[in-house]
Amino acid sequence: MTGTLAEIGPVFAALADPTRLRMVIDLGDHGPRSLVRLAGTTSLTRQAVSKHLRVLENAGLVDSARMGRERIWRLDARKLGDAGSALELASRRWDAALERLRTQVEEPPARSEGHRP
């Protein structure tokens, strides 16, 4: 995992909103898009879409560049990779903890030396 929890937390917070998650998926599926094109895929106003894009930008998930009169937004997947790595690490830790628990529960109790059946 390359990102710290403090760096990854805003990514999860930004993606917790279904509208922002949909925008990230849209940018991932269709590549860079203008605000107008992104707003065209939702019932939100351009102003509302712009606010969502700013949250995604602050989390490091998207960036933009001016092209003529429009600003083109693109997905920056590096933060998604860091978040995915964090989830994978958490998953491996849970798997290891569950395996230790399973082993303890399924192991027969140790026999004492002085007691014979």
Give the pLDDT band (50/70/90) at residue 20: very high
Mean pLDDT of 1-28: 85
Domains and CATH numbers, the chain: 5-79 (1.10.10.10)
pTM metric for this prediction: 0.72
Give exposure, 85-112, as e/b (b: 16+ Cβ within 10 Å). ebeeeeeeeeeeeeeeeeeeeeeeeeee
pLDDT digits (tens, 9 = 90+) for 22-78: 999 999 999 999 999 999 888 899 999 999 999 999 999 999 999 999 999 999 988
CB atoms closer than 10 angstroms to residue 22: 14
